[in-house]
Amino acid sequence: MSRAFDWLDKRYGLTPLVDFLKHKEVPVGGHSMVWYYLGGTTLFFFASQVCTGLLLLLFYQPGEATAYESIRFITTKVPFGWLVRSLHCWSAHLMIVSLIVHMFSTFFLKAYRPPRELSWVTGFVLFMLALGFGFSGYLLPWNELAFFATSVGTDSMKAVPGIGDWLLQVLRGGTDVSAQTLYRFFALHVVALPLITVGLVGGHLLFIQRQGMAPAMGTHVARRGLRFFPDFLLRDLLLWLLCLILLATLAVSLPYGPGLPGVEWELGKKANPLAPAYPGIKPEWYFLWVYQLLKEFPPHILGMEGPQAAILLVSVMLGIWAAVPWLDRRAQRDESSTAFSDLGVAAILFVGYLTLKAWDIGGKGLKVPDTFAVARATSIITVIVAAAIFALRRFAYQHRFFLLSGAATLQIALHGFLRVSYLNAGIVSVLLIAAGFAYLRLRPGPSVPPRLGVAP
Ligand code: HEM
């Protein structure tokens, strides 16, 4: 080993890299270490996707006459083909779960604050790419569900202001979903997205290696941390082993998914573009909130088409999310910024409520669910969660800013309990936020007292 190392060292000068690894440390204290492992678990699931995807590629054949047949061949004839497909599908969902938890944990720890703005931005783009993987992969089996879900999903692109129709044509390769769409999605899924993602993951990891992991807010002085090599890495590997066990168990015991809408991959019937679309078709679970938001908008609003207004709102929200490192001025000064923690909670309540509603929770299993019953049941769940988060933040972290999460909860409560339309309830909440900020501006003294050294 040491001779091989010397040989490589002489040619490529590896000693500085080894020195760097020897001295690299992960900050300890301030908050739980658990949050530092979630990027690693996301990386694990991404690597699983690449490995199982390559195996599927050995047999998958894109094309109107071959895509569905080749997936059926993989699941019925190829030895362990069903397992590889199941691993690929499960790992895709687990990766998105891990990604979302990683994104919110870095958000709440304010790990995006300078100098780590680009870690956040590359991460945000990776999040969008992961959604792109899910969307493009969904069509590849060319079954009924995939076909109609892609028709509905791509149709919502029309709503993108200005370039909607063009975007729809580019994505579909024509006016309708056809074999052309399948080829494009295949190229995106197995070539374009993996190449861009690998490059960006490389950049994301490089930034983190150069800067190290963010210490807790207010702890400027680097205390002695946990050695990255081997202490942190060994823990990382142990967690990867647990992820592998979880993935294998799920893939073997539920090869076609848990059967929840948006989390199933039963092959079913082959796509037939001439067949009528069946009602109640839903996208994958991580798109459900956008799907539900589109449903909450009327056909026309403020001189725009309803879906256009909904997509514009989603774009503005995502834009704010991407720009958080520059918007959070307090975090830039390494001061506690509870207003931004509140923004994160409001985002969770907003997205969580719409997702539950899209699942028709509380709809009593009716074919056409009772919309009021669904709105009430999902409101009860979300308001309970909101109250629990409020109690945790108030009593464990002494937070005092609840304007945004309060407004999000008010919208949900007005809609679910008093049957106010979702949009009108939203307008009341926006007015409350405006009044709240006006009050904080006019009030003498700091609006949110800085609390250095506490969890943000
Ligand atoms: C394929 C997707 C991703 C992979 C593989 C990945 C991987 C990682 C890894 C391995 C780390 C270092 C360990 C850790 O803090 O967990 C990290 C840190 C970080 N990630 Fe990601 N990540 C991904 C997506 C994201 C997303 C979506 C965001 C946010 C929008 C994000 C923001 C960050 C930030 C700010 C850090 C620095 C954390 C710190 O300094 O404490 N990442 N990522």
Residue 338 and residue 401 in contact, taking contact as beta carbons nearer than 8 Å? yes
User: What is the residue with the minimal CA distance to atom 7 of ligand 1?
Assistant: 39
pLDDT at 223: 60
Rounded mean pLDDT, 46-74: 98
Using alpha carbons, select from 446, 345, 323, 445 the residue that is nearest to residue 403.
345
Using alpha carbons, select from 138, 131, 152, 155 the residue that is nearest to residue 67.
138
**Ligand 1 centroid distance, CA of 180 (Å):** 35
Residue 398 and residue 454 in contact, taking contact as beta carbons nearer than 8 Å? yes
Taking the C-alpha atoms of residue 427 and residue 433, their distance in angstroms, rounded to an integer, is 10
| Alpha-helix residue ranges (DSSP H) falling in 62-162 | 67-76, 81-108, 117-139, 144-155
Question: Does any ligand 1 atom lie closer than 6 A to the CB of residue 228?
Answer: no
pLDDT at 446: 57
pLDDT digits (tens, 9 = 90+) for 423-432: 999 999 999 9
Sign of CA dihedral 299, 301, 305, 311: negative
End-to-end alpha carbon distance in the chain: 46
Burial 389-410 (b: 16+ CB within 10 A, else e): bbeebeeeeebebbbbbbbbbb
Question: Does any ligand 1 atom lie closer than 6 A to the CB of residue 40?
Answer: yes
- Higher pLDDT, residue 145 or 223: 145
Taking the C-alpha atoms of residue 441 and residue 450, their distance in angstroms, rounded to an integer, is 16
Question: Does any ligand 1 atom lie closer than 6 A to the CB of residue 357?
Answer: no
Radius of gyration of the chain (CA): 24
pLDDT at 176: 94
Question: Does any ligand 1 atom lie closer than 6 A to the CB of residue 43?
Answer: yes
With tokens 């879900």, the residue in question is 149
Taking the C-alpha atoms of residue 182 and residue 225, their distance in angstroms, rounded to an integer, is 50
Residue 94 has pLDDT above 80, yes or no: yes
Q: Which atom of ligand 1 is the closest one to the Cα of 200?
A: 1
Residue 220 has pLDDT above 90, yes or no: no
Which CATH architecture does the domain made up of 17-268 adopt? Up-down Bundle (1.20)
**Ligand 1 centroid distance, CA of 240 (Å):** 16
Question: Does any ligand 1 atom lie closer than 6 A to the CB of residue 119?
Answer: yes
For 153, 169, 280, 361, 372, the CA distances from 368, given in Å and listed in that order, are: 21, 33, 9, 12, 12
User: What is the residue with the minimal CA distance to atom 1 of ligand 1?
Assistant: 126
pTM: 0.93
Residue 145 and residue 268 in contact, taking contact as beta carbons nearer than 8 Å? yes
Model confidence band, residue 453 (pLDDT cutoffs 50, 70, 90): very low
pLDDT at 367: 67
For residue 260, what are the β-bridge partners? 263
What residue segments make up the domains of the chain, in order of their start?
17-268, 336-456
Using alpha carbons, select from 192, 286, 238 the residue that is nearest to residue 44.
238
Rounded mean pLDDT, 58-63: 98
Question: Does any ligand 1 atom lie closer than 6 A to the CB of residue 201?
Answer: yes
pLDDT digits (tens, 9 = 90+) for 160-171: 888 999 999 999
Residue 361 and residue 377 in contact, taking contact as beta carbons nearer than 8 Å? yes
Question: Does any ligand 1 atom lie closer than 6 A to the CB of residue 374?
Answer: no
The overall average pLDDT reported for the chain is 93
| Alpha-helix residue ranges (DSSP H) falling in 212-323 | 233-253, 288-296, 306-322
Question: Does any ligand 1 atom lie closer than 6 A to the CB of residue 42?
Answer: yes
Long-range CB contacts (within 8 A, 24+) of 63-68? 63/179, 63/182, 63/183, 64/142, 64/178, 64/179, 64/182, 67/140, 67/141, 67/142, 67/182, 68/141, 68/142, 68/143, 68/267, 68/270, 68/271
Model confidence band, residue 159 (pLDDT cutoffs 50, 70, 90): confident
In terms of Cβ atoms closer than 10 Å to its own Cβ (0-12, 13-18, 19+), residue 80 is exposed
Using alpha carbons, select from 80, 47, 98, 87 the residue that is nearest to residue 249.
87
For residue 301, what are the β-bridge partners? 304
pLDDT at 420: 97
With tokens 């044509």, the residue in question is 169
Question: Does any ligand 1 atom lie closer than 6 A to the CB of residue 49?
Answer: no
Q: Which atom of ligand 1 is the closest one to the Cα of 43?
A: 5
CA 347 to chain centroid:
12
Q: Which atom of ligand 1 is the closest one to the Cα of 197?
A: 1
Strands 226-227 and 25-26: antiparallel
pLDDT digits (tens, 9 = 90+) for 278-313: 777 889 999 999 999 999 999 999 899 999 999 999
Taking the C-alpha atoms of residue 209 and residue 78, their distance in angstroms, rounded to an integer, is 41
- Higher pLDDT, residue 157 or 88: 88
Rounded mean pLDDT, 211-219: 86
The kind and range of the H/E element at 300 are strand 300-301
User: What is the residue with the minimal CA distance to atom 9 of ligand 1?
Assistant: 39
Question: Does any ligand 1 atom lie closer than 6 A to the CB of residue 186?
Answer: no
Question: Does any ligand 1 atom lie closer than 6 A to the CB of residue 193?
Answer: no
pLDDT at 455: 47
pLDDT at 365: 63
Question: Does any ligand 1 atom lie closer than 6 A to the CB of residue 113?
Answer: no
Q: Mutation test of ligand 1: which of 106, 209, 324 has the most ligand atoms closer than 8 Å to its C-beta?
A: 106
DSSP state of 213: P
DSSP string, 146-194: HHHHHHHHHHGGGGSTTTHHHHHHHHHTSSS--HHHHHHHHHIIIIIHH
pLDDT at 101: 98
Rounded to 10 degrees, what is the CA torsion of 339, 342, 343, 347? 180
pLDDT at 366: 62
pLDDT at 445: 64
